[in-house]
Structure 1
Amino acid sequence: MKNETNYSPKRNADRHAYLDINLKEGLGYGWRYQENWHEEMQFYYVVSGLGRIRCESDVFDLRAGETLLINCNELHVIESLCDQLTFCSIRIDLAAMFQDMPDLIHLNYAEQLMQQRIVFDHIIDEKEQLVPLLHKLIAEHESHLPGCELALKSVVLQILVILIRNYIQKIYTKKRFDLRISSLNQLKSVIAFIHEQYTESITVHDLAERALMSESHFCRTFKKLYGKTVVAYVNTLRIEQAEKLLQNSPLTITEIAMNVGFNDANYFSRVFKQLKGTPPQTERNRIRQTMDH
């Protein structure tokens, strides 16, 4: 659940009011940055190794050279799936940047960007020119050369042009955006409850009551906001936890299934294979081979 405890403020605000770039190096298998959210858009660029990012209800595995975009206010977490993960995170505060450029505030898209009403696709095609621009942004940030502030703003604007032309998923009207935020706030307690009680039996009826909605309205609203049915969301969470147990627990497959909330080991195996592409035992063998190397 998004709340003040997992809100993540900018770390380098003293250098650039609108830009925050950080490099994390040599992160071992199982390393995990806490689940967090923030008001800036963020790029994750994997320099080497393999990392996994969960953004809201979606999960992405990123290899060296691959990039992922996190939209404003999206709850996300990153973890290492290798012995040596190195990645760069780039956070851009569009509202702060445009406030320093008043001549651009009234241009097309500027207001929507500042109000966080544009949602971009997460996956960035590594063949696109956007990735070299991210490299250039990092280089300018580290250079401290004369005129670097001008160069940084120029590169960010080029990045925004590419995103607007190629990666817009949706644009909310002000009314729709306010309704979405209202619905998200209404479902906060439901999401928190699911994350706390996923190992127990969870019914749509109980969740709808918690959200103060009818079951049909709750199911429609949940799928619209999170892109999945309640059952799919709960199963995804359970499988993620099961995968961690496969990595670092001596429990049997059946014990793991029961531990994360499945009452039927065969159903657990089917759902695991559906979401991960392999049966749980095959995944456990792969993990052990990876760790042995």
Structure 2
Amino acid sequence: MRDLSLYEKKIIKDEEFPVQMFESQVRKPGVYFQPHWHEHLELNYVLKGKGAFICDRKTIPVREGSLVIFNSNVLHEGISEGNVFNTLVIIFEMNSFSKEIADYNVLFESLIEDDEKIREILLSIYKEDVERKHGYRLAIKGMLYDLITYLFRNYVTESLSPRENTLRLHNLGRLNTVVQYIQENYSEPITNKELADLIHLSEYRFCHLFKESVGKSPINYINEVRLKKAYELIKEKDNTISEVAVKVGFSDYNNFGRLFRRYYGFPPSRA
């Protein structure tokens, strides 16, 4: 079983251009990236379509022109609402651009809309990345400095103390253990107490921490893991739908069908 924990390790080795940038092109509705976190700052600018991001337990509806900022060490998840959802994704570590700003441990606003300056900068960055003329990386880097400065002056919501930042990292690290266990044992019955014991918390405290951090209850998260695996198995057509339901951990076929339809918007027979 591969490691699908909440933590996503990002390695950007190019000191001259310490940025990961790409256009995400989603062509079907639904969840298109799972909850995860990393130390880097991540910007998602919607180029086309509608969708939503779940960030720090809040659902953020977005449309063309929306900028969503995932602060470092914050869980986030992406959802498309249609067959076309394109976003410009820019990921970098603040230390690589400004140690001064990084030392403040600032949190930027999660959603920014209708800001013409931000739109202008991001569309210019996008154009440079698409055309890739000589010196495009230098041009993009310069525009990112302008964007960071503008965000710092206009869209900072709060600063985390070193203790708050450490606590956030600690809680996310503990949840990695839980999520990895779920990924490896989803086909078996799993209780909240069993998961709580993994990280030495009471069942009540564990459920509160999990929902606070992931944005959904442990059982809902477990069912999502099972449903995604079920979808993969059904597409392979090696087992009947009832056999798939049992393989991924559902003992009640009717419950499996109901949850599958609710999650995907169609019955298992149409997968």
Q: TM-score, normalised by structure 2?
A: 0.70
Distance apart, 1:131 and its partner CA: 4.4
Amino acid at match of 2:92: I
1:92 paired to 2:85: no
Q: TM-score, normalised by structure 1?
A: 0.65
Contact in 1 for aligned 2:44/2:69 (Cα 8 Å): yes
Instruction: Kindly provide the CA deviation profile for residues 89-141 of structure 1, in whole angstroms up to 9, marking residues without a partner as x.
Output: 31132222112xx5xx4xxx96023xxxx2653x665x554444322223356
1:72 paired to 2:72: yes
Distance, in Å, in 1 between the alignment partners of 2:55 and 2:149 is 25
1:250–1:80 distance in 2 versus 1, CA, 3 Å: farther
1:10 is aligned, of 1, 9, 12, to 12
Distance apart, 1:263 and its partner CA: 1.0
Q: Which residue of 2 aligns with 1:210?
A: 198
Q: Which residue of 2 aligns with 1:156?
A: 148
Distance apart, 1:201 and its partner CA: 0.5
Contact in 2 for aligned 1:45/1:89 (Cα 8 Å): yes
Contact in 2 for aligned 1:25/1:86 (Cα 8 Å): yes
Distance apart, 1:68 and its partner CA: 5.1
Distance, in Å, in 1 between the alignment partners of 2:263 and 2:233 is 16
Distance, in Å, in 1 between the alignment partners of 2:56 and 2:227 is 15
1:119–1:189 distance in 2 versus 1, CA, 3 Å: farther
1:93–1:273 distance in 2 versus 1, CA, 3 Å: same
Distance, in Å, in 2 between the alignment partners of 1:249 and 1:51 is 31
Written as runs of structure 1 = structure 2, the 5 A alignment for 1:227-266 is 227-249=215-237, 251-266=239-254
Instruction: Kindly provide the CA deviation profile for residues 128-157 of structure 1, in whole angstroms up to 9, marking residues without a partner as x.
Output: 544443222233564527983544311332
Amino acid at match of 2:9: Y
Q: Which residue of 2 aligns with 1:201?
A: 189
2:187 is paired with a residue whose SS is coil
Q: Which residue of 1 aligns with 2:22?
A: 22
Highest RCO, 1 vs 2 (Cα 8 Å, sep ≥ 6): 2
Distance, in Å, in 2 between the alignment partners of 1:119 and 1:202 is 37
Contact in 2 for aligned 1:48/1:63 (Cα 8 Å): yes
1:187 paired to 2:175: yes
Where structure 1 has 5 or more consecutive residues not aligned to the other structure, the ranges are 288-293
Distance apart, 1:234 and its partner CA: 1.0
- Structural RMSD (CA): 4.5
Distance, in Å, in 2 between the alignment partners of 1:61 and 1:259 is 35
Identity, % of aligned positions: 24
1:70–1:210 distance in 2 versus 1, CA, 3 Å: same
2:190 is paired with a residue whose SS is coil
